[in-house]
């Protein structure tokens, strides 16, 4: 139980540091814009419902690709190719930023615990 509390504190500290970092905050806004833009496109061009549009966008950007939805139109296929090339890099950059902040928070927590701070 104490270990879970320590993990939760480390995650909270890492997330707090992430939100205060202007570069990470910018990446979060870019990813949110990317998701909203993709969902809007798929809603309009592929005629998917809003929930299906967001679902397809997230599944595509995370490269999970379940295959239950695929673009049917030529515009949808072309957009998806460009969207993947641009979007995956941006999502990976954000994931790296999140990991960096969590690792830094964990390192700080360990240093405080061992008295090296």
Domains of the chain: 2-114 (1.10.287.70)
Locate the DSSP E strands across the chain: none
pLDDT at 89: 92
Q: What is the DSSP string of 102-115?
A: HHHHHHHHHHHHHT
Q: How many helices (H) and strands (E) in the chain?
A: 4, 0
pLDDT tens digits for 68-106?
Answer: 889 999 999 999 999 999 999 999 998 888 888 888 877
Percent above pLDDT 70 for the chain: 95
Instruction: Find out whether 60 and 71 touch, Cβ atoms under 8 Å.
Output: no
Instruction: Note the pTM of the prediction, 2 decimals.
Output: 0.77
């Amino acid at each position: 139980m104490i270990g879970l509390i320590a993990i939760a504190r480390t995650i909270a500290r890492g997330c707090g540091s992430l939100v205060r970092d202007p570069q990470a905050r910018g990446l979060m806004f870019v990813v949110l814009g990317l998701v909203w833009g993709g969902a809007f496109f798929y809603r309009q061009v592929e005629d998917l419902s809003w929930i299906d549009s967001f679902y397809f966008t997230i599944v595509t950007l995370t490269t999970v690709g379940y295959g239950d939805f695929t673009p049917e139109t030529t515009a949808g296929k072309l957009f998806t190719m460009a969207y993947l090339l641009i979007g995956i890099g941006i999502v990976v950059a954000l994931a790296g930023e999140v990991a960096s902040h969590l690792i830094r928070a964990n390192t700080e927590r360990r240093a405080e615990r061992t008295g090296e701070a």
